[in-house]
Chains A and B, each alone.
Chain A
Amino acid sequence: MAKYAMVIDLQRCTGCGGCILACKNENNLSEGVSWSSKIAWTEGTFPDVRYTYITTLCNHCENAPCVKGCPTSAMHKTEDGVTNHDPDKCIGCRYCMTGCPYGVINFNWEDAHAGWQEQEALIADVTAAPAEMVQQVGGTSIPYYNPALEETYEGVRPRGVVEKCNFCNHRLENGQLPYCVESCPSNARAFGDLDDPNSDVSKLLAKFRSFRLREHLGTEPKVFYVREFTPGTNVASKGGV
């Protein structure tokens, strides 16, 4: 039994969105669905401008409002503290989305990868219809379909249910890191067990002052942030506290 958490180092984060793309790739996410996302904004007045980028994902809260609000236990906590979701039990009521203070749960309004089911080619007999391409390549629903998900979850989720980050459950089962952690080109993410003082996350939290999103709500998020995105504008955090 572990107490899984993620630590995101905002000084290392470059706002590149590699995590978002890697997550969409790894988890076969449909267009418009992002388990890993961001909130970014510009403030100030020319020339005193600052751009802030906060990468977001399911916070895997200890006191998860989405779990409490789920009438069917589709949304549930695992013994490792991960907030998981069972699409078979999901009735699509979206109470979890209402309850989540972070807006990181997606609802599938359409069939997965609807665009890839189209039958029309751009240039007749010269290019392929999207569905033909999928068939030609032998993928399931998309040509670059990742079958690894099926080991613990559904490869793609049906219309009418919610979906969100599960810390790459299928990878954790195999002793691998969540794909966003592995893929981040800026090395901004760490993942591990909070109960293990030697884990990357424990070491980082010992080294740097951290914060979590909307901490005052008492949700006890398991995603921690350290340092700042724009280090130069904050002397105290540059190089760490």
Chain B
Amino acid sequence: MKNQAVRDDVKDVEDHSAISRRSFLKLMSATGGATFALAGTPKLSIFDFAKTAAAKTNSKGEWLPTTCQGCTSWCSKQVYVVDGRAIKVRGNSNSKVNGIASCPKAHLSLQQVYDPDRLKTPMKRTNPNKGRDEDPQFVPITWDEALETVADKIMELRDNNETHKYMLMRGRYSYMRDIIYDRMTKIIGSPNNISHSAICAEAEKFGPYYTEGEWTYRQYDIENTNYILLWGADPLSANRQVSYYLSAWGDALDNAKSAVIDPRFSATASKSDEWLPVKPGEDGALAVAMAHVILTEGLWYKPFVGDFVDGENRFFANGMVNPGTFEEKYTSGLVKWWNIELRDKTPEWAEAKTGLSAEQIRRVAIAFATAAPHAISWVGGGPVMQPRGSYASMAAHALNGLVGSVDNVGGTLKANKEYTQSFPGSDDFMDDIAKEGKSHKKIDHRGRKEFPTLTKGKSGGGVVTNNAADGIINEDPNEIKVAIGYMNNFAFSAPQSARWFEALAKIPFLVHITTNASEFSWFSDIILPSTHHMFEKYGYVKAHGNGYRHVTMNLPVIEPVWDVYTDETEIPYLLAGKLAERGFTNLLDHYQTYVDPETGAAPANEAEFALYALKHATHKLWDPAKYQAGDKFSGWEEFKAAGVWNSAPYPFKKRWGKMKTATGMFEFYSETLKAALEGHAEKHETDVDDILETCNYQARGEMAFVPHYEEPLVHGEENEFPLTFVDYKSRLNREGRSANCTWYQELRDLDPGDEAWDDVAKFNPIDAKKFGIETGDKIKLVSTTGTIECTAKLWEGVRPGTVAKAYGQGHWAYGRVASKEFGKSARGGNNNELLPADYDRLSGSSAFYGFARVKVEKV
């Protein structure tokens, strides 16, 4: 009641503002989603708050540096430690990427490290039957028993010359990863190190790579931009540099307009000028229509793109242009792109596809391009982690080329240079068994005709994470007998998770390295408890934002709470010791080459190994004798105390004309993609059209090499499955790992439209009426491949014809809070049990968005 009174009061205040809330809504209606220009507002000086980042808290403790990997922002942090207890978290002011800013989900890390449901000790299953409904009947075992059992199983493979039947599954990682992921797998002798990257956001990198030659996530210079156009990105909630964007967004809005393209009204949409609730999967149509408008209106950025020789614009709807009439500067193939794809992609054409008015499409495109070159087209996962998403990734990213914001002030930037170094090589430690084993094909089928996975231009260059389940189930190309997974939970995090239940149950000997007994653990034989990455581990990561790149270290700021070891360093070292005891010394011999750069000493134990490996990897950052650029330290101790190294500032416009593409230019006609596709076709003795047909793309001929529109590939017929499912990430998600925190559950309503202690599927009231659904109803969502249960909520922030639900809930294991009943029933529903396993095959990415139809049933 009082909340209502406060609401009414705030509305009263708004109503007395210069433009009232009601007239705003009226105006929005009149224009079909309005924009409000604000010309000439001076940028106000930033008022300074007396933040006490440097001040000491009074009680007896100290702030110690480390790194948060709750999401892939990878912020540098400081943890306040009192009497050996971690009690608070804040941003590390030494970082030029995130500074003191620290997002809300960082606090939840305290409830993770001190989660009572963390494993205290290794355990093994005593029920030999594996399955979703089989209680593993875990019992504690010693580290010796656990590691000796794992070593015995690996030795069996080696003795039988079948080391290729060993597999390593990597989830979230620090850059210590290669110790366990690469070196250990190679020296044992297997090709099967499978990372999670393709269930992350590889398709996001596809567009930038095949236009500007950078297989990387971008950073966005929002403090110097005048327009921010976001494609499914929700940086105020999730990925990447959430802390930084939270700190900069409010002031960026003084200068910039922002528009959010998303079928769901996101947190970032709530802080933006305009919402474009596109029909799921139709982002590509919107992108090419915007490109069409920018060209026909003559708004491309001529100092970057060039111009017609005589200055007269020949881009008219439907008309062809003679390439000889246009002279490009730092781009390549603009006229080809126009002639092949853009000329008939009018806003009116896109209106029918996208469900957005031609007027809004034209207006936003013009406003965006008018801000050139300080205009950002920000490509998030939503439009691209879809079947056929690679081309939407190219199309949306190509807008940055049109407005010259690539590598430019107020634009879209790559990562700055950093100087970490690789671990010692493994070649000398691979014996004949290992070499033979390694020569086998990988379990995820990358590089096969139907999985080009053209990472960095190479056929089979990337991973097809989710297809590994099918590889295991079908024993294709071979069976997997022994597998280890670390900091992963593919039985929860990969679409059509039930396939993973089957695949994991099939593996005769499965090991899981984890903090909590998760869904993956449920199918495992041995579970090894790991340190928490933020408080108990040595490691480092690289991240970029705010015009800088930082290398920030995971440091043990407290003693491990229980008898646990670190996944990427200590556990492989300890396992190497057990293998050596069994006569196979190669892995331990290799690890002995990770010497302390300061003393030259080889590691005497697992703790020294972890430390020396980190000092080795970061050597050029902290040793003044090896100084390259960026922050300079007097030595390891000073670097460790700072916790983070910062790069030199961003070198703007240095890549104009020198991009790592086939032409050196920003490619609107991608010679780079042409070479990659032709390479893949040649490998399979066919042509590019056949590859595209096999991989479910619509493009044929020259269309394959330009950013273009592809119709969404959808699972489920509309008459049976009337709603398109819209997945998104909660702003409190620490990937899939925070649902066991009470703070997560209590505050799930921080996501617009969501509810505390619940998992709500949000329906537009129009659809709800159609299906007889009311807020609070317990419902089932049914797709072509799965069913989940959750709660219904009516909300105007979802597009009619869609149903939106956050990822994060639906754990049936993990802990007492995350699951309704551990091992049995879930709190809410896991979106991945609903989503079919399908792929954007050019990038290998799993599809998460815009491709799954569902129906709703009341429970």
Contacts and interface: CB of A to CB of B under 8 A. Distances in A.
Nearest to A233: B24
Contacts of A122: 116-117, 517, 815-816, 822
Interface stretch (B11-19, B444-452, B844-852): B11-19
Interface in A140-194: 142-148, 151, 170-171, 174-177, 181-183, 185-190, 192
Given A46-B764, A103-B3, A239 B42 contact: yes
B515 to A, nearest CB: 10
B253 A238 contact: yes
Interface string B784-800: 00000000000111111
Given A127-B120, A207-B44, A15 B247 contact: no
Contacts of B272: 232
A236 B270 CA distance: 18
B662 interface: no
A51 B111 CA distance: 29
Interface string B43-59: 11001111111010111
B85 A15 contact: no
B50 A121 contact: no
A144 B111 CA distance: 8
A240 to B, nearest CB: 5
A161 B200 CA distance: 47
A180 B253 CA distance: 23
A144 B110 contact: yes
Contacts of A129: 116
A186 B246 contact: yes
B33 A48 contact: yes
Interface in B347-397: none
Interface in B22-68: 24-25, 28-29, 32-36, 38, 41-44, 47-53, 55, 57-59
Nearest to A19: B104
B267 interface: yes
A15 B274 contact: no
Interface stretch (B86-94, B410-418, B832-840): B86-94
A174 B56 CA distance: 10
A102 B732 CA distance: 26
A136 B91 CA distance: 27
Contacts of B699: none
Nearest to A216: B9
B471 interface: no
B231 interface: no
Given A16-B236, A127-B117, A151 B85 contact: no
Contacts of B243: 185
A125 B251 contact: no
A115 B5 CA distance: 33
B709 interface: no
A176 B104 contact: no
A53 interface: yes
Contacts of A182: 51-53, 90
Contact of A126 (B119, B236, B271, B752): B119
A236 B36 CA distance: 10
B273 A40 contact: no
A90 interface: no
Contacts of B86: 144
Contact of B275 (A47, A211, A235): A47
A201 B253 CA distance: 22
Contact of B270 (A31, A53, A192, A213): A53
A101 B5 contact: yes
B84 interface: yes
Nearest to B517: A123
Contacts of B120: 126-128
Interface in B289-334: none
Given A138-B85, A145-B87, A101 B271 contact: no
A239 B14 CA distance: 16
B258 interface: yes
A15 B268 CA distance: 10
Interface in B823-844: none
Interface string A35-79: 000111111111111111110100000000000000000000000
A143 B42 CA distance: 49
A24 interface: yes
Contacts of B270: 15, 50-51, 53, 229-230
A122 B522 CA distance: 14
B753 interface: yes
- Dominant SS among interface residues on chain A: mixed
A44 B116 contact: no
Interface stretch (B163-171, B207-215, B743-751): B743-751
Contacts of B44: 207, 239-240
Nearest to B101: A185
Contact of A187 (B6, B250, B732): B250
A189 B58 CA distance: 22
A126 B55 CA distance: 41
Interface residues of A, number: 102
Contacts of B47: 190, 200, 203-204, 207
A11 B747 contact: no
A52 B10 contact: yes
B265 A185 contact: no
B14 A234 contact: yes
Given A12-B251, A40-B752, A183 B271 contact: no
Contact of A200 (B36, B49, B246, B517): B49
A46 B51 contact: no
B771 interface: no
Nearest to B2: A103
Given A53-B270, A123-B123, A137 B9 contact: no
Nearest to A104: B2
A14 B6 contact: no
A122 B55 CA distance: 40
Given A44-B25, A128-B116, A49 B797 contact: yes
Interface string B729-752: 001100000000011001101101
Contacts of A151: 58-59
Nearest to A176: B52
A25 B110 contact: yes
B139 interface: yes
Interface string B540-573: 0000000000000000000001100000000000
Interface string B586-625: 0000000000000000000000000000000000000000
A187 B123 CA distance: 46
Interface string A1-40: 0000000010111111110111011100001100000111
Given A16-B104, A103-B2, A228-B14, A144 B87 contact: yes
Given A9-B250, A51-B270, A122-B816, 11 more contacts: A11-B250, A16-B104, A102-B2, A171-B58, A176-B58, A185-B101, A185-B104, A185-B246, A192-B50, A214-B6, A240-B41
30 contacts: A12-B250, A16-B104, A16-B236, A18-B103, A18-B104, A18-B246, A31-B742, A42-B265, A47-B275, A50-B21, A103-B2, A122-B815, A126-B123, A126-B140, A127-B517, A133-B115, A137-B85, A144-B85, A145-B85, A146-B59, A147-B59, A148-B57, A185-B101, A186-B101, A211-B13, A215-B9, A232-B36, A233-B24, A235-B36, A237-B18
Interface of B: 1-3, 5-7, 9-10, 13-14, 17-19, 21, 24-25, 28-29, 32-36, 38, 41-44, 47-53, 55, 57-59, 82-88, 90-91, 101-104, 107-108, 110-111, 114-121, 123, 138-140, 236, 243, 246-247, 249-251, 253-254, 257-258, 265, 267, 269-275, 277, 517, 561-562, 731-732, 742-743, 746-747, 749-750, 752-753, 764, 766, 795-800, 815-816, 822
Query: Which 4 A-B residue pairings sit nearest by Cβ, starting from the closest?
Result: A236-B18, A232-B273, A12-B250, A103-B2
Interface of A: 9, 11-18, 20-22, 24-26, 31-32, 38-54, 56, 100-103, 115, 118, 121-123, 125-130, 132-133, 136-139, 142-148, 151, 170-171, 174-177, 181-183, 185-190, 192, 200, 203-204, 207, 211, 213-216, 228-240
